[in-house]
Amino acid sequence: MVNLPEKAVPRGELFDRMRERKQQDADWRGGKTWSLIYPAGEEVDEILREANGLYLFENALNPMRFPSLRQMEREVVEMTAGLLHAPEGAGGCMTSGGTESILLAVKTARERARAERGVTKPELLAPVTAHPAFAKAAAYFGLEHKQIPIGADLRADVAAARNLITDQTAFMMGSAPNYPHGVVDPIPELAALAAEHGIAFHVDSCLGGFLLPFLERLGHPVPPFDFRIPGVSTLSADVHKYGYCTKGASVLLHRSRDSMQIHQAFIYQDWPGGIYGSAAMAGARPAAPIAAAWAVLNGLGWEGYLQLAQRILDATKRLQEGIRSIEPLHVIGEPVMGVFCFGAEGADIMAIGDVMDDRGWHLDRQHGPDALHLMVSPEHDRIVDPFLADLRDAVAQHGTSRGVEARYSE
C-alpha cells in the first residue's frame, strides 16, 4: 500500500518520477498507437495546450458564474448540429465522452417510452457490433438488452431487428460507423422501423460524427446517417476523437430540444443549497474540454478539417492496399473511413500481432473473426511505409500455421 508522504516531494523529483513512469506508455507521438489517441499535428496540439491552460481551474457546473463556458458549449453544440444537419428546434449538450452521451440517450428514450407509450419493462435493441456502452446503459437503467444480428456485410440485419421489436421496446440504434469493422449500419431502414413503432432511435456516430461530413464534402462515398434521415431522435459525436480535442469532449444532439429538457435534464429544488440542475450526468464538470473543443473547431474550420480528412483518406488507402498485398492478409468488410480491421486466412493473426507488439506497434485484437484493428489518424501518414515493412516481416515469421505453432512452442 502506498501512503500519503509525510512531507512534500520536491518538484524536480516529482516530475522525474512521472517521466520515468511515462516511458512505459504507448508511443503515440511516434505514430505507433492505432487507437485511444487521435494526433493531428503540432499546430493543433498548440491550440489545445493554450485552451486547456486558459480554463484549467474553472467549473462548468454553474454557467452563471462562468458565462464564457455556457457560450462556448452552446456554440460547440450548434456547430455540431449544423455539421450533422440537425433541424430547427434541435437541442444538445456536451458530455465527458461517448459513453456518457450514450447513457443519456438511453435514459431519455426510456423516459419517453414511459411517458408516451406506457412502457413498464423497457427493452434496448442494438446490433452485436454496437459499442459496449449500450450494454452498460441497459444494465444501469434497467432495460433488457437485445442484440440485433449482423448480415454478411457486417451491418445490422433489418429483418432480424423487426422480429425483435415488442410493445416494450424503448430504444433502437445503429452505428456510423461501428468500431469493430468500420461499416455504417443501415440507418435509414432502422430509423424507419423504429419510427413505425414509435421507438426512439439513436445514431452512435461517436467515431464518424467529426469525420464523415468532411469525407462527404471531399466526394468520398458516405452512407446516409445523420438528421437528414427521418426517425433519427438522437445522435452522439465525440469531439475528442476525429474532432481532435483533448479528452473528454462529446456532443449529444436531440432532434427535439423539448425532449431533452423534459426527459434528460435533471432539476432538483428540495435542497437547502438552492435549485440544482444539470443537463448531463456530471455535476461539477471540467471547463478545459469545453474550451478546447471550441478552440479546435474554430481553429481548424472546414478548411482545416478537410485537409486532415484528406490525409486520413490517403493514409488509409495506402495501408489497405499494402495489407492486401501481403499474403495471407485481407481487410475485413468494406469500411467507410479510417477505421478497419484485417485478418489472415489460414494463419494466426494474433501471433502476427505479437510480433508487431515486439516492434512497438499497438494494434487492438478482435475476435469473431480474429483480426487486428486500426484507427487511422492524420499523423499516421508519416509511418505507413515502416508499418507495412514490419508487418511483412511479422507475416514472414509467423504468417503460416506452421509458423504459429513454432512461435507457441518456443
Each residue of 50-99: pLDDT tens digit? 999 999 998 888 878 889 999 999 999 999 999 999 999 999 999 999 99
Percent of the chain whose pLDDT exceeds 70: 97
Q: Name the residue among 308, 298, 292, 263 with its Cα closest to residue 94.
A: 292
Cα–Cα distance for residue pair 175/65, rounded to 1 Å: 37
pLDDT of residue 167: 97
End-to-end CA distance of the chain: 37
As assigned by CATH, the class of the 48-297 domain is: alpha beta
Q: What is the mean pLDDT of residues 114-135?
A: 97
pTM score: 0.92
CA of residue 251 relative to chain centroid, distance: 11
Query: Residue 206's closest CA among 261, 134, 276, 139?
Result: 134
Rama region for 333: left / alpha / beta (φ>0; ψ in -120 to 50; rest)? left
Residue 290 has what pLDDT?
96
DSSP state of 149: P
What is the structure's pLDDT at 399? 56
DSSP character for 362?
A: B
> pLDDT tens-digit profile of 18-48?
999 998 888 888 888 998 989 999 999 999 9
260 pLDDT tier (thresholds 50, 70, 90): confident
For residues 202 and 173, is the Cβ–Cβ distance under 8 A? yes
Q: How far apart are CA 86 and CA 84, in angstroms?
A: 6
Residues 6+ apart with CB under 8 A from 55: 69, 287, 288, 290, 291, 292
Q: Is the dihedral of CA 376, 381, 383, 387 positive or negative?
A: positive
Peptide bond into 180 cis (omega under 30): no
pLDDT at 177 over 80: yes
For residue 277, the model assigns a pLDDT of 84
CA–centroid distance for 329 within its chain: 26
Sequence-distant (6+) residues with CB within 8 A of 216 are: 222
